[in-house]
Amino acid sequence: MTAITSKGQVTVPKRVRDALGLKPGSKVAFEYRGGGEAIIRRAGRAPRNRFSAVRGSLGRKKSTDEIMALLRGD
C-alpha cells in the first residue's frame, strides 16, 4: 500500500517496478476500470536491448565514454 502526496504523486512499490521493468524515466499509463479499480501498465516501447538505445547515436556527437556508458546500462 502507498499514499498519495499533496502533489498527487505515488511511489510504485519495488516488486511492481521490477515486474513491469520500470526504471527511472519510464513512462506508465493508468487506466480506470470502474468500480474503484484501476490498472497501471508500462507505456510506450522500451528499447529491445541496451544496444538499441545507442543505435544511430554517433551522428549526435556523443563521446566514447558516453556511448560506452549507454552500452553498459550506466
The pTM (predicted TM-score) of the whole model is 0.52
Instruction: Yes or no: say if 16 and 28 are a contact pair by the CB < 8 Å rule.
Output: no
> CA 59, 64, 62 angle in degrees (round to 5)?
35
Domains of the chain: 1-43 (2.10.260.10), 46-74 (no CATH)
pLDDT in tens, the chain (74 residues): 889 999 999 999 999 999 988 998 888 989 898 899 999 988 876 556 667 666 665 666 778 888 788 788 77
Q: Where would I find the beta strands (DSSP E) of 16-71?
A: 28-34, 37-42
